[in-house]
Structure 1
């Protein structure tokens, strides 16, 4: 006699048994920074721009050690590699590019172009970052004060912004830079030129940041957390620096990444016009100025610094666009 035995696997189960047997899944909360990073990673162009920006910053920071380790000297002249019969043009093709001089030589004194590009990187980034910090500091403080207090305070600061925006910045920068070439404020030479460029670019560009911060503050001051802080007895300075400024970090960061390439171009323009960084110190704008005389017979000398400026500006713009999309809660 055969007995039918029912497998325990086929036995009917009580409702909810599977749910009870399955391990409980924990729901992990994500911070705003983590959400922004997840969005930012999806943007491949922004990631590429961020990588290039990091490499440029590392190149600028370690420019001197790199030159020392590789033996590159941005001011070392190689007259034996220039063709005197052709007015001092580098020997060989493509601007004298070779294994010893990967990007060729300049047609003026036979200096290594790669060494001058590396040397010029820290000058451009130092001026750009310094001017951005100065303009952001002034613009953020005055913008948040104008937006929060309103009334006559807002009117006075807004009129000051309009006055600064009416200045012909390029002409003003040229006149100031040209008048301080000898020495001022105890500074001489390269430190003076860098300080003047940072002051001129940063001090006269702060209204752009100020208008953005003011507009954001006008919206934030009507939010519930501001009313809650007031109801608890918080005063103006506490609300400005503890409640409003942390919520302005995103717009300030995004606009800073878009302002840095503008400052790089402005510094290059002043050096190109001869009122920025003075030779023999290498600068990308100064290299373009030197290349004007030889661009028809030696175009490589103009292409290299021009390409350096182009890639730097493009990388910062891609990074800024990616940060803007990542920090925008309404983006997909």
Structure 2
């Protein structure tokens, strides 16, 4: 039995139930903001490829030690019999590549490059992720406070941001890392160096996140939902953490994916300069530093860690661009 059709001024007008007759309930479903963002993200094949590479890199960093144990990889094992002591170069094929050493060997000590790349992955990811979390926490808290309260609070925090941005970060990081190499805060060795790198990179990079969050908060604090919360008697802390912060998740997430590769490059630069991760611990920047004097004897020793850094940074940048487009409500 079909729904009746009413007439208005001589024109037939179908009722809503008549228009929707024959349409399944499952076909009339709304989409959440997360579903819309995921649908947009899936359409960007380049961003999806970058995301897959990022997931694989994260899994490689997390499972580095088990992978080394399962396949018998030792990043510190010397194979002097595979190195020509006169030419200071690997014997055999290009870069010493073989079934036992797919990426070649260290031309000076004969260490397996694949094992050292895997070992260096967790160091770079740990430092970059830890520094990003630290800078995000400080920058988000101070940025949202400055943007919401304004006035002298905004002026004070903004001038603090300008002060931190005026620091010559690389020189400051070199001096701090070099002065704390022997031991501090009850730590020494590799844990101390990783902690120092996370602190230096994260603590002095928070103004970049702070400026982004402050700018977004200045716009959000004039929106209707904030005015509605104020009219219902909500106080500042509630509005900051219950109303504003959930709406800042998208820009924070996007900028984090762009900040992680920057921190990876910064850690590699410090290790390259000799004030980052100390040998014999493998790190991508340290491998590049060792390869400088041996480039003409064995170019592959520089190419392998350089490609590892390049692929990692490129994958995070592609993922960040895709997330920015997917989470932008104004994109189509």
Per the shorter chain, which TM-score range?
Answer: over 0.9
What is the number of equivalent residue pairs in this alignment?
318
Equivalence for 2:262? 262
Q: Where does the alignment leave 5 or more consecutive residues of structure 2 unmatched?
A: 6-13
- TM-score, with structure 1 as normaliser: 0.93
- Mapped to 1, the partners of 2:133 and 2:85 lie a distance apart of 47
Mark the CA change 1:221 to 1:301 in structure 2 (over 3 Å): closer, same or farther: same
Alpha-carbon deviation of 1:25?
Answer: 3.2
Mark the CA change 1:267 to 1:20 in structure 2 (over 3 Å): closer, same or farther: closer
Alpha-carbon deviation of 1:22?
Answer: 5.0
- Bigger radius of gyration: 1
Secondary structure of residue in 2 paired with 1:248? helix
Alpha-carbon deviation of 1:85?
Answer: 2.6
| Equivalent residue runs for 1:95-134 within 5 Å | 95-134=95-134
Equivalence for 1:25? 24
Equivalence for 1:279? 279
Say whether residues 1:312 and 2:315 are aligned partners. Answer: no
- Mapped to 1, the partners of 2:19 and 2:40 lie a distance apart of 35
Alpha-carbon deviation of 1:107?
Answer: 1.1
Q: Where does the alignment leave 5 or more consecutive residues of structure 1 unmatched?
A: 1-13
Equivalence for 1:150? 150
Equivalence for 1:9? none
Secondary structure of residue in 2 paired with 1:294? coil
Alpha-carbon deviation of 1:167?
Answer: 0.1
| Equivalent residue runs for 1:23-62 within 5 Å | 23-26=22-25, 27-62=28-63
- Mapped to 1, the partners of 2:19 and 2:328 lie a distance apart of 40
Alpha-carbon deviation of 1:83?
Answer: 1.0
For residues 197-220 of structure 1, give each alpha carbon's deviation from its aligned partner in whole angstroms, at most 9, with x where no partner exists. 000000000000000000000000
- Mapped to 2, the partners of 1:94 and 1:235 lie a distance apart of 67
- Mapped to 2, the partners of 1:91 and 1:240 lie a distance apart of 63
For residues 173-231 of structure 1, give each alpha carbon's deviation from its aligned partner in whole angstroms, at most 9, with x where no partner exists. 00000000000000000000000000000000000000000000000000000000000
- TM-score, with structure 2 as normaliser: 0.93
Alpha-carbon deviation of 1:93?
Answer: 2.2
Equivalence for 2:251? 251
Equivalence for 2:65? 64
Secondary structure of residue in 1 paired with 2:110? coil
- Mapped to 1, the partners of 2:93 and 2:246 lie a distance apart of 55
| Equivalent residue runs for 1:94-243 within 5 Å | 94-243=94-243
Segments ≥4 residues shifted beyond 6 Å: none
For residues 35-77 of structure 1, give each alpha carbon's deviation from its aligned partner in whole angstroms, at most 9, with x where no partner exists. 0000000000000000000000000000000000000000000
Say whether residues 1:85 and 2:79 are aligned partners. Answer: no
- Mapped to 2, the partners of 1:129 and 1:300 lie a distance apart of 28
8 Å CA contact retained: 2:87, 2:297: no
Mark the CA change 1:93 to 1:238 in structure 2 (over 3 Å): closer, same or farther: same
Secondary structure of residue in 2 paired with 1:109? coil
Equivalence for 2:290? 290
Mark the CA change 1:20 to 1:210 in structure 2 (over 3 Å): closer, same or farther: closer
Alpha-carbon deviation of 1:277?
Answer: 0.2
